[in-house]
Amino acid sequence: MNTTTAINADLLKKLENKSATIGIVGLGYVGLPLLIRFAEEGYKVLGFDIDQDKTDALMRGESYIEHIGADKISRALKNQALATTDYTHANEADALIICVPTPLDQHREPDLSFVLGTMESLLPHLRKGQVISLESTTWPGTTEEKLKPMIESRGFAVGKDIFLVYSPEREDPGNPDFTTRNIPKVCGGVTEACKAAGLALYGQVVDQLVPVSSTRAAELTKLLENIHRAVNIGLVNEMKIVAAKMGIDIHEVIRAAATKPFGFVPYYPGPGLGGHCIPIDPFYLTWKAREYGINTRFIELAGEINSAMPDYVISRVMEGLNRQGKAVNGSRILILGIAYKKNIDDMRESPSVILMEKLQNLGAKIAYSDPHIPVFPKLRKHSFDLASTPLTPATLESFDCALLVTDHDRFDYDMIFSHAPLIVDTRGRFQEKTGKILKA
């Protein structure tokens, strides 16, 4: 057995018998569930994050993500999980899984600074016999064109000394039916030996593995998944506007169309795209496609439609207030729900924030109510000095308009209907056809 084969065999054995130490870099909505899942299976897990508050909270057994209970954190700690900001411990890990953000910059182009910065921090502490997996969503070629040269700059041969894979995250925060364990895991390696290491890494903690031929194929798989959703949401958002002009309830139409047992998948309109994936991922592909002389017109058109939704919603708010003889300027508007989707506390790219800023710029007096977000958090791009307004009959009656943006199940919709003077519904939650409800 040559040295390379021995390195690979030793790593595979450790991963398969669970004696390996797993390093998770980035302890947010993707990394924290992974840390817990590996700990559940008996691996020693090291969690890395640049945010000291996060690592301190975890070491106290506390969770900062609503749908992840503190009991899960406590069990992980009992199973040898640790959280730290000290990247020198990366040398102790047999596997390093990178789960950091990949946002867009101010020019709406890919921003890989978190990925590249993380890799720079890890480089001095790499050693032979490690597998490195990138899970952050990115353009096809990132793993081989960016990470591979960085690793090789330290004198390691990828596929022989260190094994590099791409395995896109598929987390759906708050989904009770699909978790890290039962969501199939796509994995592609730079070499066949890399792919084997990646499959061994995830094979003990995920029920179904989906190997693909390369890291590029795995990277494009993730983009296709989310572009598929973005395009179909763009279509149904456009249909919503057409239906409204015709006096037709688009939600009624979708429900009827969804009874067809083949050839139709229901997608639902909304106030704009939210979350870390769907508003961002399409731009990663359109940017990379330009390198090949391709204009992704279909994807970009869907992006234009979805980006225009907040303005459409505001036009409906104006219409509703005008019917009451009021202007937006000076009106009290209560935003119902500021998370990007219902029943979670995740505000990444939430359309609620855009709506709040636009309405405030028009002179409206803004407040919000969200049972999952008691205080408006400090965000990179936006900030409001607000706390969640408790919903009571008197509170609702004191506002000129209730704008339903995120339809949390914990809202009392009967009370909202009874006491709000005007409701602008962006989610089709209210089926009543009264003058005080406008669908948006």
Task: Chunk the chain into consecutive blocks of 10 residues (it has 440) and report each block's average pLDDT, rounded to whole numbers.
Answer: 72 96 97 97 97 96 94 93 97 98 89 97 97 97 98 97 97 89 97 97 97 98 95 96 94 96 96 82 91 93 93 97 96 97 92 96 97 89 87 97 97 96 95 84
Amino acid at residue number 220: L
CATH code at 59? 3.40.50.720
CB 142 within 8 A of CB 105: no
Q: Which of 307, 342, 360 is the last residue of a domain?
A: 307
**What gap in Å lies between CA 339 and CA 350, rounded to an integer?**
6
The domain of 300 spans: 214-307
Q: Which residues contact 325 (CB under 8 A, 6 or more apart)?
A: none
7 with 156, same domain: the answer is yes
Q: What is the CA radius of gyration of the chain?
A: 24
Which pLDDT value is given to residue 228?
95
Same domain? For 116 and 12 the reply is yes
Query: Which sequence positions are flagged as catalytic?
Result: 277
CA distance 285 to 288: 5
Report the pLDDT value the prediction gives residue 5, as an integer from 0 to 100. Answer: 73
pTM for this structure?
0.92
DSSP string, 315-342: HHHHHHHHHTT--STT-EEEEE--SSST
15 and 98 in a single domain? The answer is: yes
Instruction: Examine the domain organization and report whether 26 and 114 are in the same domain.
Output: yes
Q: In terms of C-beta distances under 8 Å and separation of at least 24 residues, what long-range contacts does 171-178 make, across chains too?
A: 171/29, 171/30, 171/33, 173/29, 173/65, 173/67, 173/344, 173/346, 174/66, 174/67, 174/341, 174/343, 174/344, 174/346
